[in-house]
Structure 1
Amino acid sequence: MSHPDADGHLHGAQLATVLRPVRAGNGFEEALEQILQVVRLGLVPGGERLPSERELAERLRISRVTLREVLKVLQDQGLVAARRGRYGGTFVLPRPGAGGEDELRRRVEGVDIEDVLRFREVLETGAAGLCASHGLDGVRAGRLRTALAATHDAPLADYRRQDTLLHLTLAELCGSPSLAAQYAAVRASVNELLDCIPLLVRNLEHSQRQHTALVEAVLDGDADGAREVMREHCGGTAALLRGFLT
């Protein structure tokens, strides 16, 4: 089972990583990109409510008018739904199941998958090494342990979301906001591809052993070990995706 209080704290911190003030010239486009990342990363799970219009507008530093245009696009794409009333707001709709190989190939068109996977590996191994080298204090170490526990306790249907949150937590704790923001963007692209392939229990068991070894290395201050485990972990995901693409 998930840990609501800690989970909420994790999501708030990671929302701050993804939702940043946009540049004036591309306010609409950048706001759309960032809220799409929130949805694809599972920072707000299916069936739950996005932050309020006021909070989103303040975080992104855009007008309510621009924000409503962005939310309208997400509604038209079937990603969110607006509800009125006291408990209303904009709710993320549950994602459909895996779309199979045809959908995977469609999403890959126009995407340099090798570039995405290499960039992901560089960012992930860098974040793991930085966390181990700099050390995590009690609160931050606790956040990493909580994120790991959530992956162990997650039901199969929620595993990928909790996996994403663990990796985002590590990126956010590394001390480089630029790295964390870049990782959030590349992970959203990876998730679009992972959503199309089946969850394989044997692969998940292997991933969980790697997650545990990774967190232990980070908390032990073993930077080389953390980087090596992360490199191997990223390689497993890359192999799965290449396998389904070939």
Structure 2
Amino acid sequence: MTEPDPQPTSETLLRPVRLGNAFEDTVARLLETIRLGVFEPGQSLPPERELAVRLGVSRDTVREAIKSLAEAGYLVSRRGRYGGTFLADELPKPSGDGVRFSRNDIDDTLRLREILECGAARIAAGRTMTAAEREALWAKHLDVRNAAPEDYRRLDSRLHLAIAEAAGVPSLVPLVAENRMRLNEMLDHIPMVPRNIAHSDEQHEAIVMRILAGDGDGAADAMAAHVWGSASLLHGFLD
């Protein structure tokens, strides 16, 4: 049995790849949905034939990409009536050994994040959301607030993707996802500071509340404060 997609974001991120790099791009697309929390640990992926259609590649390419990610510990395959490809219950931890980031690397990532995510928050606040959409956005904020440390980064990423999706501009979501992957690569190199996590949770609440209240300027300002709070920690630990 195939579970439905957890949210429409997967439809945006699982988009056609560049045919010149079909295998590599397929691996990257799948890994993006896993590491940004679009699919949950233990959840099934869409079937190979559906992934092949979404990504615009052959089923053989999808099968090889799945095999590679299974060998890396991200996916498991199960046979039988309720078989399929599932995310591992416990995902590999990023190592990042030997990676170094310059001040320019950090600033470039964070300035792009400010442009993308402050704009997303402002536009999302200006849209009329259904009751279900409002509840889903609030629920994702609560998921982050209640997250265990090992799940925090994934659920945090999922919330930010949901805000981007709430802006109603489909091409924005892959840009935010790509930027978020780069940001998470940096965040994986610094400790999770409890006071910062608590502060981030407060900022998330402020952002979501302003979006739900239709306060575009307030949502953008709250997002900017959140982005540059992360900047201070990244510069402090990595510069």
> Using the alignment, how far apart are the partners of 2:146 and 2:106 within structure 1?
31
Specify the alignment match of 1:65 in structure 2: 60
CA 82–32 in structure 1, closer or farther in 2 if over 3 Å, else same:
same
Structure with the bigger percentage of helix: 1
1:178 matched to 2:171? The reply is yes
3-state SS in 2 of match to 1:230:
helix
Task: Give how far 1:26 is off.
Answer: 3.5
Distance 1:159 1:191 in 2: 11
Residue 18 of structure 1: CA displacement? 0.7
Give the TM-score taking structure 2 as reference length: 0.86
Question: What does residue 84 of structure 2 align with?
Answer: 89
- Equivalent of 2:119, from 122, 126, 131? 126
- TM-superposed deviation, 1:81: 3.5
TM-score, reference length from structure 1? 0.84
Q: 1:136 aligns with which of 119, 129, 142?
A: 129
| Deviation of 1:108 (Å) | 4.0
Alpha carbons 1:83, 1:90 under 8 Å: kept: yes
CA contact (8 A) 1:46 1:95 kept: yes
Which deviates the most, 230-239 or 20-29?
A: 20-29
Aligned to 1:200: 193
Residue of structure 2 equivalent to 1:116 = 109
Higher alpha-carbon deviation: 166-175 or 41-50: 41-50
Q: State the match for 2:138 in structure 1.
A: 145
Is the contact made by 2:73 and 2:91 (CA closer than 8 Å) also made in structure 1? no
CA drift of 1:115 comes to 1.4
Identical amino acids, percent of aligned pairs: 44
1:75 Cα deviation after fit: 3.2
- Kept in 2, the 8 Å contact 1:17–1:177? The answer is yes
Structure 2 SS opposite 1:197: coil
Flag structure 2 segments of 5+ consecutive residues without an equivalent.
none
Give the aligned partner of residue 227 of structure 1. Answer: 220
Deviation of 1:138 after TM superposition, in Å, equals: 2.2
Amino acid at match of 1:180: V
Aligned positions of 1:13-24 closer than 5 A: 13-24=8-19
Q: CA deviation at 1:104?
A: 6.1
